[in-house]
């Protein structure tokens, strides 16, 4: 793997061989392989020792490897040796993850989301004839609502309701209370570990998270698919898509940044830059957009066929976008949301669950990625760039979303109205 990066002369270094103006020195170990995207970055392999000269941001550090200098993604570096036994560390953070879903507060939020819950119920009703007598696997059943809606509306032969958290024992009580214990069998454990008596005809799950993939429950679903779903079996959702648009977010910007302009007849504007770094370094995962905040037609940056997609395809996803601005206003950043499709055997059309701003609000809402400074745009301008979704190489439920953008009157205009790049961690 070439290192890329830039060979630096001694004239650019201080007396001790370190770049001037740096103070965050330290030697770190690469937690995973990384291939440089351009000549400003370093490529490295897992286990290599990398000297960090400056921690430029939460996402990118200036570093040295073998006499070459360049930027490296901070999430790929660790102070420990990843080649040693990681037995005491849970890189999937299963205890934290499953404990959060054992809380009734979170289950109440999901049950109260009528769009989400009634969509699954509608799928069961529409497919009742096909489901009758079939075996169904519900991955991550939570409160058991999807399993029980299936049993109530479709008369399957068996629903295996798998739940890894301690909530499973309460879910079993709810199933018994509703007289469904002969149909719905609650199994406590990770779906990777449970044993079923045989293959199933249908796999259903509500696995979607922030930006569709966050928490990567999808990996468990895909493993369950490969292990238990019979050939020709049905996956619900059948497909999933992630959508993106440039947007305005004036209220968010005013609340977080405009606040510092003037307080108690005193000028606090010197704090605006630091406020933007603090407030906008991570995305807002529960942002409720007004449809009028969309500055261009959204585009689909990711489309998954749940019957075919492989986990390896989700490590890094890059999409090149071109948006034509349809509405004048400040471009504060980008907004993302997902939609899922449920294909019902012997029935058309499909049922769609859409979490976008043009649809009835769900508990997912939308994800807002704020730029540090807004860019004024007018109809006919173009927002050109790329977005990259990268799974964290160490903390496997986490990911990052990196944007490069350029705003210009036309796609090939020599002068940009505004441009930049920014990486947002979700959450490490």
- List, by residue number, the catalytic residues: 206, 215
Q: Count the alpha carbons within 13 Å of 348 in the hemisphere toward its beta carbon.
A: 0
Rounded to whole angstroms, the Cα distance separating 110 from 144 reads 11
Spell out the alpha helix ranges (H) of 305-381: none
- Angle made by CA atoms 136, 106, 155, in degrees to the nearest 5: 20
- The number of residues making up the chain comes to 428
Q: Is 30 exposed, middle or buried (0-12, 13-18, 19+ CB in 10 A)?
A: buried
- Give one DSSP letter per residue of 81-123, joined into a string: -TTS--TT--TT-HHHHHHHHTSHHHHHHHHH-HHHHHHHHHH
Residue 34: DSSP 8-state: B
Rounded to whole angstroms, the Cα distance separating 56 from 71 reads 9
The radius of gyration of the chain's CA atoms, rounded to the nearest angstrom, is: 24
Rounded to whole angstroms, the Cα distance separating 355 from 362 reads 6
Tokens of 62: 């200036």
Q: How many CB atoms lie within 10 A of CB 78?
A: 15
CB 332 within 8 A of CB 252: yes
């Amino acid at each position: 793997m070439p290192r890329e990066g830039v060979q630096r002369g001694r004239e650019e270094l201080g007396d001790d061989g370190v770049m001037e103006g740096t103070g965050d020195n330290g030697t770190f170990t690469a937690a995973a392989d990384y291939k440089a995207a351009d000549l400003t970055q370093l490529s490295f392999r897992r286990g290599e020792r990398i000297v960090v000269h400056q921690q430029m941001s939460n996402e990118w550090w200036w570093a040295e490897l073998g006499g070459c200098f360049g930027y490296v993604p901070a999430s790929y570096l660790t102070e420990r040796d990843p080649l040693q036994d990681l037995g005491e560390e849970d890189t999937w953070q299963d205890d934290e993850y499953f404990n959060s879903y054992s809380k009734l507060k979170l289950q109440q939020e999901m049950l109260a989301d009528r769009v989400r819950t009634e969509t699954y119920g509608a799928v069961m009703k529409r497919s009742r004839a096909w489901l009758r007598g079939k075996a169904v696997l519900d991955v991550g059943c939570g409160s058991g609502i999807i399993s029980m809606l299936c049993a109530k509306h479709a008369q399957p032969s068996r629903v295996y309701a798998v739940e890894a958290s301690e909530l499973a024992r309460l879910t079993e009580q709810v199933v018994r209370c509703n007289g469904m214990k002969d149909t719905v069998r609650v199994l406590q454990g990770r779906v990777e570990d449970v044993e079923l008596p045989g293959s199933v005809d249908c796999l259903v799950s509500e696995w979607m998270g922030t930006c569709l993939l966050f928490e990567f429950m999808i990996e468990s679903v895909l493993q369950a698919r490969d292990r238990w779903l019979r050939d020709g079996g049905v996956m619900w959702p059948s497909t999933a898509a992630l959508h993106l648009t440039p947007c305005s977010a004036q209220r968010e910007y005013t609340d977080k940044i405009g606040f510092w302009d003037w307080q108690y007849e005193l000028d606090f504007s010197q704090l605006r830059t630091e406020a933007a770094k603090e407030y906008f370094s991570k995305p807002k995962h529960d942002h409720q957009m007004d449809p009028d905040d969309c500055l261009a037609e959204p585009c689909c940056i990711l489309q998954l066929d749940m019957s075919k997609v492989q986990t390896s395809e989700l490590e890094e996803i890059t999409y090149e976008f071109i948006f034509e601005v349809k509405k004048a206003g400040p471009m504060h950043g980008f907004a993302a949301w997902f939609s899922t499709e449920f294909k019902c055997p012997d029935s058309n059309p499909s049922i769609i669950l859409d979490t976008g701003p043009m649809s009835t609000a769900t508990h997912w809402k939308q994800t807002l990625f704020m730029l540090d400074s807004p860019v004024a745009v007018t109809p006919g301008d173009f927002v050109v760039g790329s977005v990259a979704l990268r799974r964290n190489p160490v903390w496997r439920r986490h990911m990052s979303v990196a944007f490069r953008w350029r705003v210009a009157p036309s796609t090939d205009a020599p002068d940009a109205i505004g441009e930049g790049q920014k990486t947002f961690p979700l959450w490490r």
